[in-house]
Amino acid sequence: MTNTTPIAANDSASEKETHAASNSSILPLRVSNLGFKAKGEDLLQDISFELHAGPRTIIMGPNGAGKSLLLRLCHGLLEPTSGTVTWHSNGTNAASMKQAMVFQRPVLLRRTAAQNIDYGLKLRNMPSAKRAQITDDVLNRTGLARFADKPARLLSGGEQQKLALARAWALNPDVLFLDEPTASLDPAAAHAIETIVQTMHDEGTRIIMTTHDLAQAKRLADEVVFIHKGRMLEQTPADKFFETPQCGEAAAFLRGELRW
Ligand SMILES: Nc1ncnc2c1ncn2[C@@H]1O[C@H](COP(=O)(O)OP(=O)(O)OP(=O)(O)O)[C@@H](O)[C@H]1O
Ligand SMILES: [Mg+2]
């Protein structure tokens, strides 16, 4: 059965400072004329936007539009073939250390749940006592404490996705990318994931997420970036996007009529 233990309330803002070291934010993120080409095919073209601290951005668009590619390029997992992705603190490895990504299918290490969380903190040179404290904290806050010593790969899909988020949460990232994090989860597990994402947002992490779930997008989005055929057609406040999208493609998408 899916674990739906409620998330513990945030005890204090100062807890944010007790997590991974953070000085200045890596935001804003500036994407300029970004393009990605593979085997001669333009998969993303001429994408430009800026993301500042604060609102939650949901990236929407039909299958194959280029949403996952865009997230991977922003997160640094892929190199653009044209254009740039720049963070406020470029020139150091701070940008990569202050962002995390959660995928549709969680990518977990062949270790226990607790060790999966500990690993990311170790990479950031955190002393072991502090790592243990943060690991306990996020396992408790995500309702996963009872799985601490269980091999991560034996957890259910929903539990694994929660663990992937717990691991990201432990890093207290400035920015969290989520690529359809609830696509294969039941409603209760999806709700638990949304609650964690909302809590991270409330604690100051910048959320950038893709979803095909319109109801979820309406619940979580402050603004929507709409991608179609590798091009960005809109960056619009969420209420406006869902009521009166700027482009015909987005309107057709919202009606479920946009072909891919
Ligand atoms: N490394 C790659 N090499 C070649 N083509 C790729 C590569 N990665 C993605 N593509 C293609 O680029 C397009 C965009 O892929 P992407 O995964 O970003 O779509 P998406 O918007 O996330 O779709 P979905 O909603 O189905 O997840 C697709 O046509 C895909 O086949
Ligand atoms: Mg995708």
Q: In this structure, is residue 145 part of a structural domain? A: yes
Q: In this structure, is residue 16 part of a structural domain? A: no
Q: Residue 151: give its domain's CATH number.
A: 3.40.50.300
- Among 36, 41, 42, 43, which is best to mutate for testing ligand 1, by the most ligand atoms less than 8 A from CB? 43
Q: In this structure, is residue 207 part of a structural domain? A: yes
pLDDT of residue 201: 97
How many domains are there within the chain? Answer: 1
pLDDT of residue 22: 47
**Is residue 69 within 6 Å of ligand 1 at its C-beta?**
yes
Query: Residue 205 gets which letter from DSSP?
Result: P
The whole-angstrom distance between residue 246's C-alpha and the CA centroid of its chain comes to: 25
pLDDT of residue 18: 39
**Is residue 120 within 6 Å of ligand 1 at its C-beta?**
no
Q: What is the mean pLDDT of each run of 10 residues along the chain (260 residues)?
A: 36 40 78 97 97 96 97 96 89 78 94 98 96 98 97 96 97 96 92 96 97 96 98 98 96 88
Q: In this structure, is residue 246 part of a structural domain? A: yes
Find the 72 Cα to ligand 1 centroid distance in Å. Answer: 11
Which residue minimizes the CA distance to atom 2 of ligand 1? 38
Q: Parallel, antiparallel, or unpaired for β 82-86 and 231-237?
A: unpaired
Q: In this structure, is residue 10 part of a structural domain? A: no
Q: In this structure, is residue 125 part of a structural domain? A: yes
pLDDT of residue 184: 86
pLDDT of residue 6: 34
Sheet holding 82-86, edge to edge: 41-51, 29-38, 82-86
pLDDT of residue 16: 42
Q: In this structure, is residue 12 part of a structural domain? A: no
Please count the residues of the chain.
260
Q: In this structure, is residue 140 part of a structural domain? A: yes
Cα 167 from Cα 121, distance rounded (Å): 9
CB 47 within 8 A of CB 232: yes
Residue range(s) defining the domain that contains residue 206: 28-254
